[in-house]
Amino acid sequence: MSYQVLIQPPAFAEIENAYRWMCDYLSADAANHWYYDLQNAIASLQQFPYRCSVAPEAAIIGRDIRQLWVGKGRNYRILFVVESDTVAILHIRHRRQASLGTEPPE
């Protein structure tokens, strides 16, 4: 079975912010390499998204949120849900960011 992968607006913004940060503080080459690795990982979710582990946030939020680690040193997590024949990418989180549901209110 092939799943349709949709990147939700918060995840899209997080991708853009991470890319810009890498361009500013690392290099454009590093940012591009990360971006292509991320896109390949996201595309891989079209097949067998259930191969990915359930994220720790699933117990806190009460949804079956899964995670796929990506990047050099596995520093980023793609957080997603599978609904019917669709994979919805919810967030892209760096390993140093607080888990979903544990951030202080803004």
For 89-98, the pLDDT digits (tens) are: 999 999 887 6
What is the reported pLDDT for 30?
95
Distance set, CA 47 to CA 33, 65, 86, 103 (Å): 23, 17, 11, 32
Query: The domain 4-94 is classified under which CATH number: 3.30.43.10, 3.90.650.10, 3.30.2310.20, 3.40.50.1370?
Result: 3.30.2310.20
For 39-66, the pLDDT digits (tens) are: 999 999 999 999 999 999 898 888 899 9
Supply angle C-alpha 2, 37, 79, rounded to 5: 60
What is the reported pLDDT for 96?
83
Contact predicate 71/37, CB 8 Å: yes
**Backbone dihedral angles phi then psi of residue 11, each to the nearest 5 degrees:** -65, -40
The domain limits of the chain are 4-94
103 band by pLDDT with thresholds 50, 70 and 90: low
